[in-house]
Amino acid sequence: MSECYYSPAGPRDGRITLGGAEARHVSRVMRHQRGDKIVVVDGLGTEFDVVLEAVRPNEVVGRVLAAATGRREPRHSVTLALAVLKGDKLALACEQAAELGISRFIPLKTERTIGRLSAARLERLQGVALAAMKSCTRTVLTVIEPVQDLARLASRAAEYGQALVAYEDEYESGLDNVLDRRASSLLLVVGPEGGFAPDEVRVLNSAGVKSFSLGPRRLRAETAATTVVVSAMQLLGDLGGRNAPEQP
């Protein structure tokens, strides 16, 4: 699948309509014509094979030929909560995590968080998630949540099958020791450039969020975020391994 288009509304009466930038891309950039076939995803896990019936610069309409759900998606729902990092680092970490298959991204405000998340920056993250979904042929769009503070995150930790925090001062457990492979949903928390305040880790721990170490080296927050997602996906069997072609 070399190109794919996004239609959050999905099909109506067996037809999908694309507008805005998606329609422009089909008509102007790719110069598709009536009768061409394209792939459209709804961002919720379903992809549609579509044959184009009408191609206009601002509106493209196609008939759905086939639909498939859950292809190329991890079986586990992983949420990454990452402290708002400075500059481009937040977007970079978000992009990599979205490509690696996370379901949700929570920008986190902690005591030592320096970065600020303006409305424009939040919107940019949404664009990053959309581009990541398309470029890596996912069918689920990573949901970018509004900024949450650590206390609120802790109060919601029980909503996940398991919640874990990467803590630079944890010396006992690695991710493989604490990860519950049977949990269907997982929250992974990573701190800011300046690390977590010890009190914050206590708050998380008492809300049931277990600490784990990433080993003896202090990683930069953005490196830690990607590492945490890679390791979790690998341990859960959702990364690496055989790439079996899917039956149409």
Give whichever of 38 and 225 is closer to ligand SAH, judged by the CB atom.
225
H or E element, residue 233: helix 221-235
Give whichever of 18 and 106 is closer to ligand SAH, judged by the CB atom.
106
Give whichever of 73 and 168 is closer to ligand SAH, judged by the CB atom.
168
What order do you get walking across the sheet with 46-55 strand by strand?
5-6, 37-41, 46-55, 59-69, 15-19
Which of 41, 128, 224, 233 touches ligand SAH by CB under 6 A? 224
108 binds ligand SAH (CB under 6 A): no
Residue 98 to residue 137: CA distance in whole angstroms = 11
Which of 132, 133, 209, 221 touches ligand SAH by CB under 6 A? 221
Which of 190, 229, 233, 236 touches ligand SAH by CB under 6 A? 190
* Owner of token pair 């298959």: 101
Which of 17, 46, 137, 213 touches ligand SAH by CB under 6 A? 213
Length of the chain: 248
> Can you spell out the DSSP letters for 17-73?
EEEHHHHHIIIIIS---TT-EEEEE-BBSEEEEEEEEEE-SSEEEEEEEEEEESTT-
Q: Least distance to ligand SAH from the beta carbon of 37, Å?
A: 45
Binding site for ligand SAH (CB under 6 A): 166-168, 190-191, 194-196, 213-215, 217-219, 221, 224
